[in-house]
Amino acid sequence: MRMKLTLPDKSIRELPEGSSGYDLAKDIGAGLAKAAIALSVDGKQQDLNDAILEDCSVSVITIESQDGLEIMRHTLAAQVLARALKNLYPDSKLAIGPTIDKGFYYDIECSKTISIDDLEKIEKEMHKIVQSKSSITKKLLSKSDALNVFKSLGESYKQEIINDSEQKNDFQLYYQDNDEFVDLCKGPHLPNLSFIGAFKLTKVSGAYWKGNSNNKMLTRIYGTAWNTEKELNEYLHELEEAEKRDHRKLGKEMDLFHFQDEAPGMVFWHSDGWTIYRNLRNFVRLKLQESGYIEVNTPQVIDRKLWEASGHWDKYRENMFITEIDEEHANEKRVNALKPMNCPGHVQIYNQGIKSYKDLPLKYAEFGLCHRYERSGTMHGLMRVRAFTQDDGHIFCTNNQIESETGLFIEFLSNLYSDLGFKEFDIKLSTRPEMRVGSDEVWDKAEAALESAIKNLGYPYRIDEGDGAFYGPKLDFVLTDAIGREWQCGTFQLDFNLAERLDAQYVGEDGNKHYPVMIHRAVLGSFERFIGILIENYAGKLPFWLAPKQVVVASIVSDVNDYADEITSMLKKQGIRAEVDLRNEKIGYKVREHSFKKVPFIFAIGKNEKTDRTVSIRKIGSTDTSSMSLDEGINYICSHNKV
């Protein structure tokens, strides 16, 4: 019997029934047979030597393809790294070893703690294994046979995986030539280890078994792997470049902010950092005003009663900072919480006076400083802090206004991102989480409303099941930065619960009272985090309008100090953040120093400039200078000073 195999180009090739992927590749050409490592049958990957059973569409996966690269990484993890670990630490137990973006990891339980210094030794062992160029073969075992194999090896995690599996038969066990090493794996794997490319182990850390923090912590070893040494080096170079952009490093170098032990997770903003913050806030404030928001401000410290009513006390008590007044001086016994969110405060403002349907949509905005007690291991520079300011806003509206408000918000957000230099963003629709308030009917309604709004508006989106807020479904906005990293910033969260909980109502056209829909929304998220993202996106070289110091006027000889002063005050009069540098240093020294601080423009002023009343302008990132008259120079600078 022969079977018909449809290739990706739609051509059909006939082979005897039971032929393998390798047979097919060989039939097509010797070159392909050499590069082939696995097979995709009707979209499902299988090992190259597995039999093809019936008519189907197939494509041969080669080592050069993206799929091939991932299979190589997988084999490297599950066969090479795992075997190396078993060789070096025989009493360790294997857990799992999947591929991840650009690499792989393997989790093991190990009585000896493995540290970063051990990676070299493990890598050496891996190279030894790769050099054997062993073939990889597999056996298919029944559930009980597979269990027995791993029982005899003492591999309890593998047994657990088998036990938890709904599968009855055909558990795949992979072996290498002349070795007792065996791993349970869904495959596929490389046919042999000669396909392994360039790799490097990168880090070691702990990870919970099955990702559950109640489970035992295992040792996780991370690595990266590529087909060639060149690609590996390019990737390592990219990592180094990303490290140079680290906002914590640049923040120190540029003197923007610091942290200290007495206030973990809370920013000490230095003058230049605070200037960035203020510029960003002014920019957002202006945009909000243009879009019909009204800015409000609500208290920092609020009685727990309000948090109980809003539901926060129940759900997030452990992440709230609580304050009590010193008993000796207190004449009232109150437990207060520092606000972790602005929404209950906004409802209090809404609740002053009676609202009519004619007042809706009512859009409150607040640059509200919130405190959340983040657990100690979660903080990260400006990106994850305990005190942060949101560009927060709450839209009180009717059901009928949800769609138009969704559209207006996305447009608003997309303009803001674009002005800040982020041209691309993705939208994620997150649905009801396990821990939530509100009835299922309300959730049905909220999810349907949001999905239909975004569908009707025609924006592409993907769904993230169970990632919604505890009070409602949400849209999240993920932007892509200059080096391709993704940051979730904007959010748009429907809430059919809070208005009712806090008794916010409006009088409808029918004269009856109704609960408005509340939409929690933010574009930047938190200023702290967003400034971190901006610093990394621009590698410190912020757009002119955001730069804390925009121009430094540097004198070359002290005879021209008066002229340098004059230029500086002219720039300042035009609203430019200019500084003068009259120090007794060479111009090269000054240029170097201000370049490190990422000042966008340096004016180098010498005798020629003073005599001719000109300026010599040096733009950051270029070694060219341009000379122009003083007036032209000032106009040139001012022309940069807009968003």
- Report DSSP letters for 316-332, one per residue: HGGGS-EEE--TTT-SS
Look at strands 171-176 and 136-141 and give their pairing: antiparallel
> Which CB sits closer to RNA, 231 or 593?
593
> Which CB sits closer to RNA, 407 or 606?
606
- Enumerate the H helices of 192-335 as residue ranges: 229-244, 247-253, 271-290, 304-310, 312-316
Using CB under 7 A, pick the residue from 87, 227, 625, 641 that binds RNA: 625
* Phi and psi torsions of 554, nearest 5°: -110, 125
Nearest CA to 486 out of 426, 417, 526 is that of 426
Q: Do 296 and 349 touch, CB atoms closer than 8 A?
A: yes
> Which CB sits closer to RNA, 13 or 380?
380
Q: Does residue 334 bind RNA (CB under 7 A)? A: no
Using CB under 7 A, pick the residue from 12, 51, 53, 116 that binds RNA: 116
Q: Does residue 273 bind RNA (CB under 7 A)? A: no
Using CB under 7 A, pick the residue from 315, 428, 572, 640 that binds RNA: 315
The residue from 189, 220, 372, 610 that is catalytic is 372
Q: Does residue 358 bind RNA (CB under 7 A)? A: no
Interaction residues for RNA, span 242-261 (CB under 7 A) = 248, 252, 259, 261
Q: Which stretch binds RNA (CB under 7 A): 26-34, 74-82, 190-198, 612-620?
A: 612-620
Q: Is 425 exposed, middle or buried (0-12, 13-18, 19+ CB in 10 A)?
A: buried
Asked about 343 being catalytic, the answer comes back as yes
> Which CB sits closer to RNA, 276 or 587?
587
Using CB under 7 A, pick the residue from 11, 111, 115, 352 that binds RNA: 115
Q: Which stretch binds RNA (CB under 7 A): 16-24, 164-172, 200-208, 272-280?
A: 200-208
Q: Does residue 380 bind RNA (CB under 7 A)? A: yes
Asked about 370 being catalytic, the answer comes back as no
Q: Do 531 and 381 touch, CB atoms closer than 8 A?
A: no
> Using CB under 7 A as the criterion, what x/- string covers residues 529-568 for binding RNA?
--------------------------xxxxx---------
Interaction residues for RNA, span 134-193 (CB under 7 A) = none
Look at strands 257-258 and 103-109 and give their pairing: unpaired
> Which CB sits closer to RNA, 208 or 283?
208
Helices (H) and strands (E) in the chain, counts: 21, 33
> How many C-beta atoms lie closer than 10 Å to residue 613's C-beta?
13
Task: Please give the structure tokens belonging to residue 492.
Answer: 């748009």
Give the C-alpha separation, 44 to 46, whole Å: 7
Asked about 428 being catalytic, the answer comes back as no
Give the C-alpha separation, 278 to 273, whole Å: 9
Task: Please give the structure tokens belonging to residue 109.
Answer: 């339980």
Query: Cα–chain-centroid distance for residue 289?
Result: 29
Asked about 423 being catalytic, the answer comes back as no
The residue from 138, 189, 520, 577 that is catalytic is 520
Using CB under 7 A, pick the residue from 132, 480, 595, 641 that binds RNA: 595
Asked about 485 being catalytic, the answer comes back as no
Q: Does residue 376 bind RNA (CB under 7 A)? A: yes
CB of 592 to RNA, least distance (A): 3
The residue from 158, 346, 394, 501 that is catalytic is 394
Nearest CA to 471 out of 440, 502, 496 is that of 496
Give the C-alpha separation, 178 to 596, whole Å: 58
> Which CB sits closer to RNA, 138 or 220?
220
Q: Catalytic amino acids?
A: 343, 372, 390, 392, 394, 474, 520
